[in-house]
Each structure stands twice: as structure tokens, then as C-alpha cells.
Structure 1
Amino acid sequence: MRRPATSRTLLAATLVTATLAGCTAGPSTRPEVISNDGPAAPASAGDKPGVPLPPLEEPKSPTIKWTDCDEETRARIDQPAALGALKLSCARVAITVDAPDLPNRGLSRMSVLKVGTGSIPLVVVNDIDGDPGTLFAAKLAATAPPELLAKFSLIGVDRRGSGQSTPAQCIPGNVRSDLLDQDPAAESGIEAVLDAARKAGQQCAIELDTNQTALDSWRAAGDLDQLREELGMSKLNALGHGEGSRVLTGYSVRFPSTTGRIVLDGAPDPGPDTAAALDAVAAGLQSTVDGFAKDCAQRKCALGDASAVLTSVVDKMRKNPSPDAGAGIALYAISSGLAQRARWPELADALGAANAGDVSKLTAFIEPMLSDTRVRPSRLDGALATKCNDSATRLPTDQIQKLAQTMRTKYPLFGGLVAQQLAWCSPWPVRREPLPPAGTPNVPPVLVITTANDPVTPLAGTTKVADQFPTSVRIGWQGTGHGAFTFSPCVTDAARAFLIDGKIPANGTLCPS
């Protein structure tokens, strides 16, 4: 198996801004956006029962200690100039590890970042394998509506096991490479991934010890309640991006009485059928390739037929892998780039360079997954631990191989790659703790944003999450990318009005691409 010549390679996410002019509701005669300036529950939530949307309140007696971290945070961001004159402050919050075998015991630290001048905290939670929440919040602030930052301060959270919050850092470097650089088209690929997954699981069991199964979204929701208290807030107002929304849905179940204004910008499929959920991810990736190619053509980028060049790059790296990467790394890098719409021009340039023989720009997209340093811990370790602890699905090898073959046939480019993730958790301990049913009628209206073509949290899964909440209000972007806030002006303005003014859009509102 090839080893990376360097222990560095990436994954991230950023976003844009708004005006509600293009918003249209689906086949309905209801208004485009229904206002609710007071705390009363709106009829616009599809006539769903629920508690009132709570009014915004100022913090009372916060105990969190903020210190300036502007310079050090900008050093961790690829394009610090994009942050402009924003000021960044950081803090550490004590949390209880609460491992299954040691309930309510153990202490750790959670890293948080504040950006914006508003007096009311708005907690931001990102995908576990994307930018750490602190960096994601800083980047989000650079593109968010100014009114949002005048009303709120964004509070980015590095979830337990990630970023600067006592990162997992338990998978050996060569094993990370083995997990990610197996050729998805090869019949032997699944066996090799299973072998790497066993090594990763064994080492994580040793390194993390009793904390191995404490890295999950359910406990991360408890961390947010500790943060809420230290922020001096009676209610948690928050925005979840993609898989990070799982933490907020868990929060609403655990702490319904302190749930405030919540926006979910995409959400993972909550169902137990992991294979079906991954099938939708593979379909979403293919749809995103089409959107990327269309965008490339509209911008008159140098690739010409972007879809054809993308396929050509993968074929070349399959036939003539470099010392740093083969087809597996290429596909993971491409899928990372596709998930970050703001970086599509950069992805196009990287594909052009790779097609000409220089793969360094392309492999940079997967660098944060492979690279592991004190300042920039690998995102793979915490992501694997969290996703495995969140899932109760463990499939036998023969079933994984069968599903992989089916997905390779159905989605020739990405099917095999996505199917490999079925093997990642095979050796991981299965969750023993039962969780309460998702969704509760005792929370305020939750704004759920869907995206028609999302390569990470597909439309179908996000819709299921919305259906679990009796008080959910769904607004859909008919575009392509991972998350719609702040890419769709229509969605962005609706979310801004929901968070700041308490205006709730008509359930089923559609925003144009």
C-alpha cells in the first residue's frame, strides 16, 4: 500500500448572503413568508402543534472567560484575508466525559470561538469531518448577513474529539492512508479497508481507553447545555450545518425546555438503514458532479467538459498512482471539493493540474484527513469515532461486499467509494445505550433547510429529520452544494428573519437554484 510522502492532505466548508426576493412556496396559495413577530406559535408551520417560538433574551451573568485569539486563529485558516476586520475571541469550557461505563465522570475541555458584535450568542455546530466548528464559525461570519452579526455573536464549537477540543488522534498515520486510498473499483478494496478499520479500531481502543465510546453526538449535545449555562442563556439558539445538525436534534430531545431558535442547514438521515443512507449520498455526489460541470461551463472555466476531465483524472490516478495518492485519495479529494461550493473554482484548477500530471493541488483537498499535528489534528480520527458511536449498524463482510458491488454498478464513479464506509465501523464497539425517539412536540418551531442536490446530507435524509419534528418548518433550496446558508439569498434571508425577527416561513417554501 502506498504511503503519503508527507503526512499532510484536506477537508473543509465555507459559504455567501441574501435577499428574499426569489422565494416561492410550492403548490400552495399561502404567502411566500409568514411573519410572526411575537412569541405565539404560528399557523404557518403546516398547522403543526407546538410551543411558542421563544423571544430572544440577553445573557444573564455569563461565566465564560474570553481571550483574544485573532492571530492564532487566522494562522489556522487557509485564506485569513477573507475574515477582513472581524475580531475573534476564544475560550475553553469544562465538560463531563460521561463515558458509558463511567457515567457523569471524567473531565475534558471544549474549545469555542466567538465572532460578531451581537450580544446574543448563536451556537454553530459543523460536520464532524469538516472544518472544526471554531474555524467554520469564523468563515461563516465572513459571508453572513451583517444584521446577523449585529444581533448575534457566532459561537463556534469544536465538538468533543475534534479540533482543539482534546482531539481523538488515535489512528496511526499509515492506517489513515490505508483507509482512504483503497481503489473503490477493485474487488479486494473492501477487504483492505476492513483490515485498516480493524487496525484503527484496535489502536483507538488502546489510545482512548474508556473514552472511546464517549465521542458521540448525544454527549456532544450535553456539552452544548454546559456551554449554554456558561454563556448565561436560558435558551440555546443554534445553527447546525450538515451532520452537525445531529447534535442539535439530540439537544432538543434531551433539553426541550431550554431549546431556543434552531436552524438545521441539512441533516443526516436519521434512519437505521445505513446502506440506504449511503446510497443517497452516492446519488448526491453524482448530482453534484453535474452541478459542478454546469457551473464550470457557465464560468467558462479552462476544463471545458468538467465531468469528463474529472473522470479522466481518476482513471489516470488509477492506472498510474503517484507516491502520494491513487484512485481512492483522488476520489475522496474530489468529493471533499464538491461538498465545498465556494471552492469549486479551486477544484476546477486542481483537476486541470492533475489531468496534466500535477496532483498536489487536488490532494490538498484531503490533507486535513491524513495530516495530524498538534495545531491541526486529523479530522478522520474524531469523525470515525463519532460516526461509529452514533451508529448501531454493523454488517458482516459478505453483505458489505455485496452492497459495494451493487453500489459500484449503480454509481460507477462514487458508489464503491461511499460503500467503503460501511466497513469503517465493523470492528468498533456497538452502542449499547438505548436513545429516546427523535423529535418531540415540546420544542419550539425548528427551521429545517433542505438542498435539492447535497453530496453530504441528501434531501431525503434531511426531509426525514423534518418529519420527526411536529413543529418543524421546512424550506428547500433547489440548488446544488452542501448546505444552502449562505449560498441561496432566499434561504439566507429566511433564516435571518427566523433567527432575528421570529418570522417563520411557510412550510414547504421553495427557493430557486
Structure 2
Amino acid sequence: MPRVIGRVGVILLLLVLTACSAGPSDRPAVAYRDDGNSGARTPRNSESRTVPPLGPSSHNALNWSDCTGTTRSELGPNHSPEGMRFSCTNLLTSTDPPGTVRGGTTRIALLAAGSGDVPLVVVNDIRGAPGTTFAARLATRLPERMLREFRIIGMDRRGTGESDPTNCVPKEEREAITRFDSRATDEAALDRLLESVRTASQKCLLDLERRAQTYDTRHTSDDLEELRLQLDVPRLHAIGRGEGSRVLSVYARDHPNSVGRMVFDGAPDPTLKTLAQLKRRADSAERTFDVFAARCRDSEECALGDSPRQRLDSLIERTRGQALSTGGAPLTSGELARAVLHGLENREDWPSLTRAIAAAEDGDGSALAGFIRNSEAGADRLGQRMVTRCNDTMLRLPPERARNIAEEWVDSRPLFGGVFAQRLIRCSTWPRPQQAMPSPGNGRLPRIPVITTENDPLTPATGSENMAATLPDGSRMSWLGSGHGALGRSDCVTELVSGFLAAGEVPPRDAACPA
């Protein structure tokens, strides 16, 4: 039975939704909060007036071609159901920076899965897997009715994946920044990091020229509108994951009449500025590791014994003096911390992460390196992330302030504090954007469910809750589990989201799904 922390005077009810036959359509238990005015639940359909219609079908002009073979190869043989087909194409969109009349175009990669006629666009974080890859993986985890109703479309963000790449950070600077000591706090060391960042920024500004400041959330929102027009549909139905939800919130603000059925699977906190957001994310990452450690200790065989945190702490400290052997480039302490952070994103990877940490204690860092290096091979992921993130924030810290924050966060958040503090330094020499990030939505938006994950190392639940409260008709749906994103990982959440997107069934407000 799900566990829900309620407010005083709030009644928790358990709703067991069942189907007539066993199978994927069976609905798991859901807890929700009543309004306290009656003993009966308000029927879902009474709120369906807040849900936009799905149709009409798409009659897009995009030239799709089959890419099943390459996609299945990328996903791996055990992660793509037999018979699932994928198709790919490209979208050309304007690179015009704000205030200009004419500009060039950039190519954005798209991938589609499913046999439905109604497009459902998936927008991922700027970090991690490209949007096309993430959408393909998500499609393999969605119920059959979603694939029959929708054409799931993943979009690579500008400069990422198979889109026109940024590739602007020289290899030497890229390695210096990504391999940097996650616990460095002294002036000389952080000055070396700042110099690498300065060189990388200058190179990106020279290579990208007038396009440099068009890699941001606002332009990604415009890319979505161009995609909607090319798909020839009146409304954009979409799923945003993590930071991708912020893109959808900006789209909703700028194109309120084109908003269809949207779901935010975690979202950055719109009430906090960059420094406070990163601090809270570091806290959430530390808490998620503690949940990981507790699950390990509770298992029959925990390779990290009774003190996983202490052992990882010691391993990071030891690796600062001597990098770990991997069969390739040695794994530094900075890479080690980021690798563990990557491993915490997916609950299914936790057993492998446990074994990788234990192997690293014995001097073999190859398994841990796989959590970050395999996904970044041959790509300038640093440049893609850095340019977009710096264009999305006005914060530029002077060196002394950056050093003070690094020292404070490394001391109070020893596993991941330095990782997040160094992201502040990466924007130190990048030009400020012309406009601050807009606030989400406006009063004309339909119902938008926002999913919170209790232990998310990258998108704290409190931030997602604040996003739901900020939207004019946002509603929270909680998953009491762990990892980055709940859709496709929690059967309960996936079923509720499928009912909302495919059938217009509004989930109960404050629904809570078990871990």
C-alpha cells in the first residue's frame, strides 16, 4: 500500500482501480487526498472540461524514413520489443537570435515510434541521452494503447544528438573540465578550472558566432512551435522530463492557444534562482544516495557492507591522489562522483552501481567509467550542456564568491556538492543572456499534471511541487520511488498518465503512487 505524508485534517483514501481481465491494463493502487467536503471521490470526468481534445490527426510534411535498425542497435537487443518500428527525419528551424530580422537555419533530429495519428512530442533534459534516444526508450515502456493512439516523437535539442552539433569545446579543455577534482577548493586549483572554462567559452563564441546565444530554453520552445506547424496540428501534446518540462512551461507561456495535453515528469523549481536551485539539487542528490545506501544495506548481499556512504567518501578522497585504472584513460575523482550521480538516475541500475563502486575500491574503475564515458564517446556533450545552461541563467559569480561556495558545498555535501558548485564556475565568462528566463504559463492554460519523484537526484520533488503550484491549473502526482523521472518506471504513474493523455481522464489531485 502506498505511503503518503498528509496534512493535518486531510483524509487519505485508497483507490484500487481494476480492469476486467489481468494484464498490462490492470491499474495499481493510488492514494489521493479528498477535499474534506464529502466522503465520496469527485469523478474524474467532471474535470475533463480542463483537458484539450486530441484531434485532428496529423498531416505533416516531414519526410520520415525507417531507422529501426540503427535505433535498435543503440538501445540494445534486450531493450527494444520485437516488432517495434522507428522512423527518423529532420526539422529545419531558424537560428535567428532575439532582435534580428534574418538568420540561418539549424537542423534538428526527430525520431518517431507508435502507429497512432496524433503526435505526442517528448522533450528531455539538456543533459543525458539525446531526446530521440530518450523517446525511443520511453516508447518501449509505454502501454500498447499509447502506441496505438499516438505517434511518439522525440526531438534532439539544438546542438545535441544527431542535430547540427555544437562541437565547440577543444578536447584538452573538455577533459580538463570534466575530469576536474570534485573536491577542489583552493584558489590555485579553481583558477586553473576557470582558465579552462574561459578558453572553452572563447572557442565556442568564435565557432558559433551569432548562433551562440540561440541555444537556450526560449529558442527550444520556438523549435517546438515550428514542429507543431510542420506536423499540421492545432495543439501540441507533449511530455517533458526534468529540465525539458521547463521548455514546455515556456512554450505554454508563449503559445497558450496551441497547448494540448501536457505532462511534466519532474520540473525545475520556478520559484528559485540558479544558485538556490543548484544547492537544492545537490541536497537531493545526497538524499538519493542515502536511499540507495539504505536499500543496499537491506539487501541480502550488499557489496558495500554496512557503510556505503563512508566507503564512497573514502574512495573519492583516495582517487584524488591516484586516479583509477579503467583500461583506458584513468578515472579521476571528479569523473567518479559524476558517474555515481549518473548511476543514481535509474533505480534499475543500482545493483550494477553497487558492484561498480566495490570494483573501484579494488582499483578497477572501468565499470564506473561506463556510466559516463559510453554515453559521451565521440560527442562534445560538455559544450552542448554548458552553452545551453549558461544561456538560461543570468548568474555570473566572481572567482572569490565561487571559491567560497565550492568550499561550503564540499564541506556540507561531500559526495556531490563540488559537482554542482563547479557548474556555477562554467558560466563565469559566458555573456549574459539578453533576457531572463520567463516565468511559466498564464491563466488560460488547461490542466497540466506535474509528477514528483520522492528521491530524484537531479529534479528535487519540492521543485516539481512548486511548478505545479505555479501553473494556473497544475496538479501534482507523486511517485514515492527513486530515480530521475517516474514515467515508464512506475506502473502506477504510467497508467495514470496514459489515461490522461489517451482518454482525457484527469488524475485525482495529489495522487500518490507507491515506490
Same fold (TM over 0.5): yes
Answering whether residue 33 of structure 2 is matched by residue 36 of structure 1, we say no
Which digits, 9 at most, give the CA deviation of each residue in 1:41-67, with x for residues without a partner?
A: 3xxxxxxxxxxx111113243211110
1:329 partner letter: E
Q: Name the amino acid aligned to 2:278.
A: L
Q: Is the 8 A contact 2:58 2:118 kept in 1?
A: no
The letter for the 1-side match of 2:293 is A
Tell me if structure 2 keeps the 8 A contact 1:18–1:490.
Answer: no
CA-CA distance at 1:140 after TM superposition: 0.8
Structure 2 vs 1, CA of residues 69 and 405 (structure 1 numbering), >3 Å: closer, same or farther? same
CA-CA distance at 1:178 after TM superposition: 1.2
Match of 2:366 in 1: 360
User: Which consecutive unaligned segments of at least 5 residues does structure 1 have?
Assistant: 1-16, 42-52
Instruction: Verify the 8 A CA contact 1:39 1:55 in the aligned structure 2.
Output: no
CA distance 1:299–1:39, shift in 2 (3 Å): same
| Corresponding residue of 2:166 | 168
**Residue 482 of structure 2 is aligned with which of 480, 483, 486?**
480
Q: Which has the higher contact order (CA 8 A, sep 6+)?
A: 1
Question: What is the aligned partner in structure 2 of residue 181 from structure 1?
Answer: 179
Query: Is residue 383 of structure 2 the alignment partner of residue 381 of structure 1?
Result: yes
Cα distance in structure 2, aligned partners of 1:297 and 1:272: 35
Q: Work out whether 1:22 is the aligned partner of 2:15.
A: no
SS at match of 1:36: helix
Displacement after TM superposition at 1:293 (Å): 2.1
Conserved in 1, the CA contact under 8 Å of 2:92 and 2:105?
yes
Instruction: Give, in whole Å, the separation in 1 of the partners of 2:382 and 2:218.
Output: 19
Summarize deviations over 1:436-492 as a string: whole Å, max 9, x none. 432211111111111111111111221222222111111111221111112222211
2:122 aligns with one of 115, 121, 124: 124
Match of 2:223 in 1: 223
* Residue 335 of structure 2 corresponds to residue 333 of structure 1: no
- Closer/same/farther in 2, CA of residues 180 and 38 from structure 1, 3 Å limit: same
Mark the CA change 1:342 to 1:458 in structure 2 (over 3 Å): closer, same or farther.
same
Does the residue aligned with 2:293 lie in a helix, a strand or coil? helix
For 1:16-165, list aligned pairs within 5 A: 20-26=27-33, 28-29=35-36, 34-36=43-45, 39-41=48-50, 53-77=51-75, 79-85=76-82, 86-100=84-98, 102-103=100-101, 105-165=103-163
Quote the Cα distance in structure 2 between the aligned partners of 1:175 and 1:18.
Answer: 51
Residue 421 of structure 1 corresponds to which residue in structure 2? 423
- Deviation string, structure 1 residues 366-410 (Cα, Å, up to 9, x no partner): 2157532xxxx2322111111110111111111111122221222
In structure 1, the partner of 2:452 is 450
CA separation in 1, counterparts of 2:418 and 2:243? 21
Looking at structure 1, the residues matched to 26 and 224 of structure 2 have their Cα atoms a distance apart, in angstroms, of 31
**Structure 1 pair 36–380 and aligned structure 2 pair: CA distance change class (3 A):** farther
1:431 Cα deviation after fit: 0.7
Aligned to 2:495: 493
Contact 2:166 2:384 in 1 (8 A): yes
Tell me the CA shift for residue 212 of structure 1: 0.6
The SS at the match of 2:78 is helix
- Report the AA paired with residue 361 of structure 1: A
Residue 267 (str. 1) matches residue 274 (str. 2): no
Could you report, residue by residue, the CA deviation over 1:241-297 in whole angstroms, capped at 9, with x for unpaired residues?
111111111110111101000000011122452221111111111111122223334
2:243 corresponds in structure 1 to 243
For residue 35 of structure 1, what is the amino acid of its counterpart? R
Q: Which residue of 2 aligns with 1:342?
A: 348
Tell me whether 231-240 or 434-443 shows the greater mean CA deviation. 434-443
Change in Cα spacing, 1:60 to 1:71, as seen in structure 2 (3 Å) is closer
Q: For residue 397 of structure 1, what is the amino acid of its counterpart?
A: P
Q: Which residue of 2 aligns with 1:200?
A: 200
Distance 1:37 1:185, change over 3 A: same
Q: Which residue of 1 aligns with 2:19?
A: none
Partner-residue secondary structure (3-state), 2:45: coil
Distance 1:266 1:32, change over 3 A: farther
Distance 1:259 1:151 in 2: 18
User: For this pair of structures, how many residues does the alignment match?
Assistant: 481
Taking the aligned partners of 1:406 and 1:192, their CA distance within structure 2 comes to: 19
- Cα distance between partner residues in 1 of 2:171 and 2:504: 48
2:247 is aligned with 1:252: no
**For residue 44 of structure 1, what is the aligned residue in structure 2?**
none
Name the aligned partner's letter for residue 405 of structure 2.
Answer: L
In 2 relative to 1, CA 268–181 (structure 1 residues): closer, same or farther, beyond 3 Å?
same
Counterparts of 1:177 and 1:32, CA distance in 2: 56
C-alpha displacement at 1:80, in angstroms? 3.7
- Alpha carbons of structure 1 residues 249 and 169: separation in structure 2 relative to 1, 3 Å: same
**What is the letter of the counterpart of residue 222 of structure 2?**
G
Describe the shift of the 1:104–1:219 C-alpha distance in structure 2 as closer, same or farther (beyond 3 A).
farther
Q: Tell me the TM-score normalised to structure 2 length.
A: 0.88
How many angstroms does 1:185 deviate by? 2.0
Which secondary structure does the structure 2 equivalent of 1:23 belong to?
strand
SS in 1 for 2:512: strand
CA contact (8 A) 2:228 2:234 kept: yes
Aligned to 2:12: none
Distance 2:485 2:124 in 1: 11
Aligned mates of 1:249, 1:423 — CA distance in 2? 27
Please tell me the residue identity of whatever aligns with 1:137.
Answer: A
Match of 1:289?
A: 289
Instruction: Note closer, same or farther for the CA distance 1:127–1:19 as it changes in structure 2 (3 Å cut).
Output: farther
Choose the corresponding residue for 1:324, options 317, 330, 345.
330
Report the aligned-residue RMSD.
2.1
CA distance in 2, matches of 1:433, 1:366: 33
Could you report, residue by residue, the CA deviation over 1:195-228 in whole angstroms, capped at 9, with x for unpaired residues?
A: 2211110110111111110001111111111111
Looking at structure 1, the residues matched to 450 and 56 of structure 2 have their Cα atoms a distance apart, in angstroms, of 25
2:17 aligns to what?
Answer: none
SS of 2:449's partner is strand
Shift of 1:97: 1.0
User: Structure 1 residue 21: deviation in Å?
Assistant: 2.7
Judged with a 3 Å threshold, the aligned counterparts in structure 2 of structure 1 residues 130 and 115 are, in CA distance, closer, same or farther, namely same
